[in-house]
């Protein structure tokens, strides 16, 4: 029996057909996995010069999810290399960090990985014309010609179906200083020791990306963990995450010049967090020590 269910469906105008944004928010705040199903025609979306009007169904995985200000959700594709349908990959290796908001607005940040120098100027750039793709509506363009261009847009897919796997169970929630706010470390250790997967809800992970610290919206970023370690004498759990994409929290979640990055997170059950940040413009890495409240989920 499938553990996946559709909690929100929008039509091509992004009007609600069924479900609710509240149901989606509640699922994301339980660390539910998110996939979004869409449909489109090949010669409307992939190759406008093609004679093929074949309908394509896409179901995309959004491995990083955001809950913002207790009222908004968004998901980011964090593992995707661009695919050039139907033949292979795009011409330059890069990441395709697509973001989809709960209202169907979209964006993409594309850090290139091939080491080619990019001398473009950072900041706002002219929006490229989209006359040949009438269902595509460009909103803005940022950092064109750099190693990390981004833009926000709307594509009028035939529908948007927000599907969740709501099978995670929260076993521990601690403060930035490690104070237990709910659950227990013992429950986490018991589940971990039997081979359960772990997912993390990191509170305030993107606080430093906002220009005005006093205006940062409350937010939690959810991402799955990988290898975990338990120090039996110290009673300390340590885990490293899958790749995470950070974006300055706002409604809707949008890319701007300098408001995003990506990397990996190491977390401990005492609130100690290290973020290994990759600067998308230079691909240079740096480590940043933080204190964060974390929710730990198991499955």
pLDDT at 120: 86
Are 267 and 295 contacting, i.e. CB atoms less than 8 angstroms apart? no
Expressed in percent and rounded to 5, the helix, strand and coil fractions of the chain are: 10, 45, 45
What is residue 1's predicted lDDT score, i.e. its pLDDT? 58
Residue 164 CB contacts under 8 Å (≥ 6 apart), including other chains: 4, 5, 7, 24, 27, 28, 32, 33, 34, 35
| Mean residue pLDDT across the chain | 95
pLDDT value at residue 210: 84
Q: How far is CA 150 from the centre of its chain?
A: 15
CA 240 to chain centre: 17
Tens of each residue's pLDDT in the chain, 299 residues = 579 999 999 999 999 999 999 999 999 999 999 999 999 999 999 989 999 999 999 999 999 999 999 999 999 999 999 999 999 998 999 999 999 999 999 999 999 999 786 778 899 999 977 778 899 999 999 999 999 999 999 999 999 999 999 999 999 999 999 999 999 999 999 999 999 999 999 999 999 998 777 788 999 999 999 999 999 999 999 999 999 999 999 999 999 999 999 999 999 999 999 999 999 999 999 999 999 999 999 99
**81, 89 in Cβ contact below 8 A?**
yes
Predicted TM-score (pTM) of this structure:
0.96
Whole-number Cα distances in Å, 285 to 28, 255, 275: 30, 20, 10
129 by Cβ neighbours in 10 Å (0-12 / 13-18 / 19+) ranks as exposed
How far is the C-alpha of 118 from the C-alpha of 143, rounded, in Å? 10
What local confidence, expressed as pLDDT, does residue 73 receive?
A: 98
Q: In what order do the strands lie in the sheet with 33-41?
A: 16-19, 4-11, 159-165, 33-41, 55-62
Question: For the purposes of burial, counting CB atoms within 10 Å of the CB of 207, is it exposed (0-12), middle (13-18) or buried (19 or more)?
Answer: middle
- What are the helix (H) ranges across 93-228? 185-193
């Amino acid at each position: 029996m499938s553990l996946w269910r559709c909690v929100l469906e929008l039509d091509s105008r992004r009007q609600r057909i069924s479900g609710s944004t509240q149901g989606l928010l509640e699922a994301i705040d339980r660390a539910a996995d998110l996939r979004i199903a869409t449909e489109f025609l090949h010669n409307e979306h992939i190759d406008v010069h093609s004679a093929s009007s074949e309908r394509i169904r896409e179901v995309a995985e959004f491995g990083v999810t955001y809950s913002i200000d207790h009222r908004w959700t968004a998901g980011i594709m964090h593992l995707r290399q661009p695919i050039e349908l139907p033949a292979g990959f795009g011409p330059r290796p890069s990441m395709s960090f697509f973001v989809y908001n709960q209202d169907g607005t979209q964006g993409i940040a594309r850090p290139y990985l091939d080491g080619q120098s990019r001398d473009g100027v950072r900041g706002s750039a002219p929006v490229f014309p989209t006359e040949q793709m009438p269902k595509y509506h460009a909103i803005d363009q940022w950092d064109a010609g750099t190693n990390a261009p981004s833009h926000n847009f709307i594509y009028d897919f035939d529908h948007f179906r927000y599907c969740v796997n709501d099978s995670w169970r929260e076993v521990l929630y601690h403060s930035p200083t490690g104070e237990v706010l709910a659950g227990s470390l013992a429950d986490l250790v018991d589940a971990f020791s039997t081979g359960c997967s772990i997912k993390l809800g990191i509170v305030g992970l993107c606080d430093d990306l906002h220009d005005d610290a006093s205006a940062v919206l409350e937010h939690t970023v959810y991402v799955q963990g990988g290898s975990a370690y338990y120090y039996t004498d110290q009673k300390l759990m340590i885990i490293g995450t899958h790749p995470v994409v950070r974006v300055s929290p706002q409604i809707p979640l949008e890319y701007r010049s300098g408001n995003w990055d990506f990397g990996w997170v190491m977390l401990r059950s005492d609130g100690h967090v290290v973020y290994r940040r990759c600067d998308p413009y230079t691909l240079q890495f740096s480590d940043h020590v933080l204190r964060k409240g974390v929710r730990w989920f198991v499955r």
